[in-house]
């Protein structure tokens, strides 16, 4: 029997599988897609995540192939701008998710994990109230001592077992696209916060720019998202900061749409099952740290899986929940606070004044946004 079955071959699944396979566990990864595959994302990896990957010996290709990101630029609704570089020479990287995910998955396979693409998990395999594997296409059973659900914001396992749900509020959706010939690009990741949403812009290799619009839609089936290209172009063309920069830009590929983004997990798991990545809960992060949650959360899930294999399930979920709380709660609070603050023109203006008088205050914000403390500790 498989020791650990990982459902989902994105960053969380690949990292968890790598850690476990290196420790000697028999690991299999399944995913409904064939890799490499495209994925809507902001395509930025902050310094803390780079350090985590480097500590795992999984970051070489990301650092070599990614475009350096030196800090952040944030603008508010009236165009007031706050920007700063990461301290101490720390840098993030911009790399398309297709390449990032493929690199991490290849390393999981090299560590000894088996990978089975085009495998659609339909439900959990249950045995006396415990998850004992999964059921895939054509009713085939795949038993395992431990299952890690790393299958994203619409996790078949987390939702199917009633562990997760999309909350009524916020109901944000994302439209992402790649443009060329965007004016004014620098080595900074950008977040342009506007009433009701925000637009992220980042340079990526090949002279392209990643653009991601995030905003709420209470009724996405009403037609608002049926023409995402027109919607994205309209938002860019009427934005006072971005319209001139995108006047001569060309859309490279049709936009992708993803949502609703937020996922609430109200029960940490069931014996036999662990959650990782977006399946363990997600609120769209403003500061490019979604991948940090995925990578560090995958490490924690892999450690929990090892404990379950060796000692059984007593307090495995409780301990994992406490570890996730210590690792992520401060940053989640920071992101929520930052979202509220930069949504207020007065607050952004005040931040710009404070930054000019006390530069250390701005450096502290950017350091926390980039998970630079994680980078130093790794």
39 and 103, same structural domain?
yes
Q: pLDDT tens, 57-86?
A: 999 999 999 999 999 888 876 667 778 888
In a domain, 365, yes or no: no
Task: Report the share of the chain in percent with pLDDT over 70.
Answer: 86
Residue whose structure tokens are 């296409």: 137
In a domain, 368, yes or no: no
State yes or no: pLDDT of 322 exceeds 90. Answer: yes
CATH number of the domain to which 185 belongs: 3.30.9.100
Answer whether 301's CB lies under 8 Å from 274's CB. Answer: yes
pLDDT for 252 equals 95
130 and 24, same structural domain?
yes
132 backbone dihedrals φ, ψ, rounded to 5°? -125, 15
- Mean pLDDT of the 208-223 span: 80
Packing angle of the helix pair 290-311, 47-55 (nearest 10 deg): 30
112 and 25, same structural domain?
yes
Examine the fold and report which residue of 258, 273, 289 is the final residue of a domain before the chain moves on.
Answer: 258
Q: pLDDT tens, 83-106?
A: 888 888 889 999 999 999 999 999
Of 277, 322, 283, 327, nearest to 302 (Cα)? 277
Answer whether 289's CB lies under 8 Å from 45's CB. Answer: no
pLDDT for 331 equals 79
CATH number of the domain to which 140 belongs: 3.50.50.60
In a domain, 243, yes or no: yes
6 and 125, same structural domain?
yes
State yes or no: pLDDT of 321 exceeds 90. Answer: yes
State yes or no: pLDDT of 348 exceeds 70. Answer: no
- Mean pLDDT of the 32-49 span: 92
Q: pLDDT tens, 269-304?
A: 799 999 999 999 877 666 667 898 999 999 999 999
Of 161, 216, 209, 217, nearest to 188 (Cα)? 209
- CB burial of 259-279 (b: ≥16 within 10 Å; e: otherwise) equals bbbbbebeebbbbbbbbbbbb
123 and 15, same structural domain?
yes
Q: How far is CA 68 from CA 42, 85, 318, in A?
A: 14, 12, 38
Highest-scoring range by mean pLDDT, 75-89, 239-253, 317-331, 356-370: 239-253
State yes or no: pLDDT of 32 exceeds 90. Answer: yes
245 and 155, same structural domain?
no
CA atoms lying within 13 Å on the CB side of residue 108: 33
Examine the fold and report which residue of 258, 288, 317 is the final residue of a domain before the chain moves on.
Answer: 258
250 and 235, same structural domain?
yes
pLDDT for 37 equals 93
State yes or no: pLDDT of 233 exceeds 80. Answer: yes
pLDDT for 89 equals 86
- Mean pLDDT of the 145-154 span: 95
As given in the structure block, the two tokens for residue 13 are 């699944």
Answer whether 81's CB lies under 8 Å from 352's CB. Answer: yes
Structural domain span for residue 155: 2-43+96-167+262-342
269 and 145, same structural domain?
yes
pLDDT for 361 equals 63
Answer whether 86's CB lies under 8 Å from 70's CB. Answer: yes
Q: pLDDT tens, 9-23?
A: 999 999 999 999 999
Examine the fold and report which residue of 209, 234, 258 is the final residue of a domain before the chain moves on.
Answer: 258
313 and 282, same structural domain?
yes
State yes or no: pLDDT of 187 exceeds 60. Answer: yes
The Cα–Cα gap between 62 and 65 comes to 5
pLDDT for 36 equals 94
238 and 158, same structural domain?
no
- Mean residue pLDDT of the chain comes to 88
189 and 332, same structural domain?
no
Domain count, the chain: 2
């Amino acid at each position: 029997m498989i020791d650990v079955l990982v459902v989902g071959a994105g960053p969380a699944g690949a990292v968890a599988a790598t850690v476990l396979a290196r420790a000697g566990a028999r690991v299999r990864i399944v995913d409904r897609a064939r890799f490499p595959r495209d994925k809507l994302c902001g395509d930025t990896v902050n310094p803390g995540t780079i350090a985590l990957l480097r500590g795992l010996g999984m970051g070489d290709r990301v650092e070599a192939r990614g475009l350096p990101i030196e800090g952040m630029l944030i603008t508010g609704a009236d165009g007031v701008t706050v920007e700063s570089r990461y301290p101490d020479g720390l840098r993030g990287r911009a790399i398309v998710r297709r390449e990032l995910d493929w690199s991490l998955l290849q390393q999981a396979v090299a560590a000894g994990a088996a990978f089975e693409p085009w495998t659609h998990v339909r439900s959990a395999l249950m045995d006396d109230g415990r998850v004992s594997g999964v059921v895939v296409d054509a009713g085939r059973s795949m038993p395992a001592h431990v299952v890690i659900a790393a299958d994203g914001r619409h996790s078949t396992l987390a939702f199917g077992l009633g562990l997760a749900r999309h909350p009524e509020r916020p109901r944000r959706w994302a439209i992402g696209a790649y443009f060329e010939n965007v004016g004014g690009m620098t080595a900074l990741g950008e977040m342009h916060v506007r009433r009701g949403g925000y637009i992220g812009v980042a340079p990526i290799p090949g002279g392209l720019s990643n653009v991601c619009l995030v905003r709420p839609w209470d009724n996405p089936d009403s037609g608002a998202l049926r023409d995402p290209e027109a919607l994205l172009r309209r938002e860019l063309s009427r934005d006072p900061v971005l319209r001139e920069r995108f006047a001569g830009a060309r859309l490279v590929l049709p936009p992708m749409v993803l949502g609703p983004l937020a996922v609430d997990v109200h029960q940490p798991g069931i014996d036999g099952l662990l959650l990782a990545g977006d399946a363990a809960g997600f609120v769209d992060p403003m500061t490019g740290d979604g991948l940090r949650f995925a990578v560090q959360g995958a490490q924690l899930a892999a450690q929990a899986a090892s404990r379950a294999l060796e000692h059984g399930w007593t307090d495995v979920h409780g301990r994992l929940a406490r570890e996730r709380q210590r690792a992520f709660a401060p940053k989640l609070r920071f992101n929520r606070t930052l979202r509220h603050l930069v949504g207020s023109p007065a607050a952004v203006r005040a931040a710009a004044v404070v930054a000019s008088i006390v530069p250390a205050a701005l450096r502290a914000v950017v350091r926390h946004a980039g998970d630079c403390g994680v980078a130093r500790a790794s």
